[in-house]
Amino acid sequence: MDDDEILMYDDELDAAKAAVQRLGGAKKVGEMLYPEKTPEAAARYLLDALNPSRSERLNPGQVLLLMRKAREIGFHGLAAFYMRGAGYAPPVPLDPVTETARMAHALERVMGTALQIAAQLRQMNGGKD
């Protein structure tokens, strides 16, 4: 995503609208954000939340979900808008394979430490669990 594309959004609602459009529209995204509502009601509520003259707004968790889903399809405009507004460089998407390997390695380290601590506790308790 280049700077020109990021600058074309007037505000966060405009950037969110672009993400919704890329994800298939208000009905599809509304169902994802508001599963407790009917598809039509969810779409209406989402459109209200993206309308600057309405009081409804997406909560932070919903914005994050919208950014994650947009990332999955290669759209980074919403994330880039927020990052630029906060004074950060444009987002760099994580490679899922690399991220999975990093998390697996971290889990192995943590499990190794947990096993060592468990062994030490058993030793301190005279071999009793």
pLDDT per residue as tens digits for the range 86-107: 999 988 887 776 667 777 778 8
**Model confidence band, residue 2 (pLDDT cutoffs 50, 70, 90):** low
Predicted local distance difference test score (pLDDT) of residue 82: 94
pLDDT exceeding 90 applies to what percent of the chain?
61
Does residue 78 or residue 8 have the better pLDDT? Answer: 78
Which helix (H) or strand (E) element contains residue 85? helix 77-85
Say how far apart CA 22 and CA 43 lie, in whole Å.
Answer: 15
Predicted local distance difference test score (pLDDT) of residue 6: 58
